Amino acid sequence: MPFFYPFENPTFVESIFFEMGKLDFNSGVFRILGNKWIIASILFLTWIVFFDENSIVSHQKNKRRLYELKQQEEYYRERIEVDKQKLDDLKAGEEKLEKFAREQYYMSKSDEDVFVVVDDD
């Protein structure tokens, strides 16, 4: 029995649908993709890569955040060392403490005047 084609002049879309009727779904690619284990594996890998709590995407975000935190840790360790040095200088004697207070907080004795000179540069 020959295949009945109802259209006299088929359009491109009609010819594609006509050709789809000729596809063999039991051949190569369709047979592999139709396997339930292949489908399950593809779904599993998709889930692991994109949607899981420990996905590759979130793992990369965590690595970037860890790098940023290590940079901050290094910065704050250097700041701590500088501040420890300043604290040791302040504890060294009353003269250094007085010098620090005068320079940083513009403190003065009761009979002194403080003049602050600011450069416009």
pTM of the entire predicted model: 0.48
Question: Tokens 């403490």 — which residue?
Answer: 97
Largest CA distance in the chain: 120
The answer to whether 49 and 55 have CB atoms below 8 angstroms apart is yes
Classify 106 as helix, strand or coil: coil
Domain containing 23: what range? Answer: 10-52
Classify 57 as helix, strand or coil: helix
Residue 83 is assigned to a structural domain of this protein: yes
Residue 92 is assigned to a structural domain of this protein: yes
Q: What is the pLDDT of residue 1?
A: 45
Please give the Cα distance from 51 to 45 (Å, whole number): 10
Q: What is the pLDDT of residue 104?
A: 85
Residues of the chain with pLDDT under 50: 1
**Over the stretch 22-33, which tens digit does the pLDDT of each residue have?**
655 566 666 666
Residue 77 is assigned to a structural domain of this protein: yes
Residue 4 is assigned to a structural domain of this protein: no
Q: What is the pLDDT of residue 71?
A: 97
Domain count, the chain: 2
